[in-house]
Amino acid sequence: MGAHHSHAHDTDFTGATPAYKRALWAVIAINAAMFFVEISAGALAGSQALQADALDFLGDSLTYGLSLAVIGMSLRTRANAALLKGVTLLLMGLWVLGSTMYQLLILGVPRAEVMGAIGVLALAANVASVLILMRFKDGDANVRSVWLCSRNDAIGNVAVIGAAGAVALTQTAWPDLIVAGLMATLFLSSARQIIWQALQERGGHAARP
């Protein structure tokens, strides 16, 4: 079936196909554009959740570029790249948790209408990314990390939209901060999965699906 071959449950898939590389380039462009949109909107709205999501877009752009760079290289090189992405995701999660704690000390109510509008735009961008990558969601640690990051983004956007509605109803910043905390937890969970699989592959053992 060529480019339309399903890679479901194939942990040996390395991404070394033209179709996967095209998919990565498309998703890199989407994420880079949304980072600039969302970081500006997050600052304008005073929303911690939007800024956390913007950081995720930036991280994804950089890590997808790294994934593209190591396609076709040795298993150890690809595992090392995935390990680096896992550690980066871990640091992002810790940064979001820390900045959310800081925000608690200077509570200001974010602008719900900006949060909601940008949240919907970001969700559309991430759903497009998820659909592009859907048939490549399983593979080695390098490929799987790309899928997990895209999935996290879509989940995060739904949460941001929900937080915008809750901020509008309650006129407090708590929904925004709670969502930022939940997103940080999601980052940390995915980081654990990516790091675990990468370490397994580095050790020459069969990675867990």
Q: Are 21 and 72 in contact (CB under 8 A)?
A: no
More confident residue, 96 or 91: 91
Residues in CB range of 208: below 8 A, 6 or more apart:
196, 197, 200
Residue 208, number of CB atoms within 10 A of its CB: 10
- For the ranges 16-25, 170-179, 185-194, 196-205, which has the lowest average pLDDT? 196-205
Q: Is the dihedral of CA 173, 178, 183, 185 positive or negative?
A: positive
Please state whether the predicted TM-score (pTM) of the whole model is above 0.75: no
For the segment 118-140, what is each residue's pLDDT rounded down to a tens digit? Answer: 888 988 988 888 888 777 767 76
The pLDDT-based confidence of 8 (bands split at 50, 70, 90) is very low
Nearest of 61, 45, 87, 71 to residue 190 by alpha carbon? 87
Q: Is the dihedral of CA 202, 203, 204, 209 positive or negative?
A: negative
Read off the pLDDT of each residue in 146-173 and give the average, rounded to a whole number. 80
Task: State the residue for tokens 């910043």.
Answer: 173
For the segment 172-190, what is each residue's pLDDT rounded down to a tens digit? Answer: 878 878 888 887 887 788 7
Nearest of 168, 102, 120, 136 to residue 22 by alpha carbon? 136
Calculate the dihedral angle through the C-alpha atoms of 22, 34, 82, 192, rounding to the nearest 10 degrees. Answer: -140
The pLDDT-based confidence of 33 (bands split at 50, 70, 90) is very high
Topology of domain 15-202, CATH: Alpha-lytic protease prodomain-like (1.20.1510)
Q: Mean pLDDT, the chain, as a whole number?
A: 77
Residues in CB range of 193: below 8 A, 6 or more apart:
86, 144, 148
Between the alpha carbon of residue 87 and those of residues 7, 82, 92, 181, 189, the distances in Å are 26, 9, 9, 18, 12
For the segment 100-118, what is each residue's pLDDT rounded down to a tens digit? Answer: 776 666 556 677 788 888 8
Here the tokens at position 4 are: 């339309």
Domain borders along the chain are 15-202
Helix (H, G, I), strand (E, B) or coil at 73: coil
The pLDDT-based confidence of 13 (bands split at 50, 70, 90) is low
Check pLDDT > 60 for residue 208.
no
